[in-house]
Amino acid sequence: MEPMAKTALPRACSVADALEIVGERWTLLAVRELSHRFHRFDQIARNTGASRDILTVRLRKLEAAGVVRRERYSEHPPRYEYHLTEAGWELCDVLLPLMRWGDRHLNPADPPMTFTHACGERLEPRVVCAHCGEPAREGIRDASGRGLIPHE
């Protein structure tokens, strides 16, 4: 009889923790709609295509995680709007590069959606070093100095 394999515990990881909250399709699409200033449940459901029951669960999860907040806009019957919190707006910083990746690798024949920055120029989302401005992909290291993304 072979010995049972030990089950390794997964490494502690903020990516895994974040995916517990936002790792489902309808969740990020709801955040997208909120960032476009669609705050009412029916608007979000229509624009995402999510069923009402799934969207309800996703919005409650986002609320519990502090990504959205509910605000009552009608007393009778009670109705609510959803708004992004500061954490929710920070999550939008992740959506822009994700959209750019999808434009390039999944929909290259379609014209990409473009955004303009407040300065009037086209916004090109990318992750850069806050100190030197170089693309982060070239030299990310952890606290031990080990490279997280190898040079090619």
Which pLDDT tens digit goes with each residue over 25-54?
A: 999 999 999 999 999 999 999 999 999 999
- Sequence-ordered strand ranges (E) for the chain: 68-74, 79-84, 115-116, 122-123
Domain of residue 20: give its range.
14-138
What contacts 65, CB < 8 A, 6 or more positions away? 21, 87
Residue 25 within any structural domain of the chain: yes
Tell me if residue 79 falls in helix, strand or coil: strand
Question: What count of other Cβ atoms lies within 10 Å of the Cβ of residue 49?
Answer: 10
Residue 148 within any structural domain of the chain: no
Q: Report the number of distinct structural domains present in the chain.
A: 1
In the prediction, which pLDDT does 45 show?
97
Whole-angstrom distance, CA of residue 72 vs CA of residue 82: 9
Residue 151 within any structural domain of the chain: no
- Structural tokens at position 46: 């229509």
Residue 106 within any structural domain of the chain: yes
Whole-angstrom distance, CA of residue 114 vs CA of residue 124: 8
The band of 152, judged by pLDDT with boundaries at 50, 70 and 90, is: very low
Residue 147 within any structural domain of the chain: no
In the prediction, which pLDDT does 149 show?
56
Tell me if residue 48 falls in helix, strand or coil: helix
Residue 5 within any structural domain of the chain: no
Burial of 45 (0-12, 13-18, 19+ CB in 10 A): buried
Tell me if residue 75 falls in helix, strand or coil: coil
The CATH number of residue 56's host domain is 1.10.10.10
Whole-angstrom distance, CA of residue 91 vs CA of residue 49: 21
The band of 12, judged by pLDDT with boundaries at 50, 70 and 90, is: confident
pLDDT in tens, 68-113: 999 999 999 999 999 999 999 999 989 988 988 898 899 888 887 7
pLDDT in tens, 117-146: 889 998 888 888 888 888 877 667 777 776
Residue 144 within any structural domain of the chain: no
Whole-angstrom distance, CA of residue 69 vs CA of residue 142: 34
Name the DSSP letter for residue 6.
Answer: P
Residue 6 within any structural domain of the chain: no
The single-letter code of the amino acid at 44 is: I
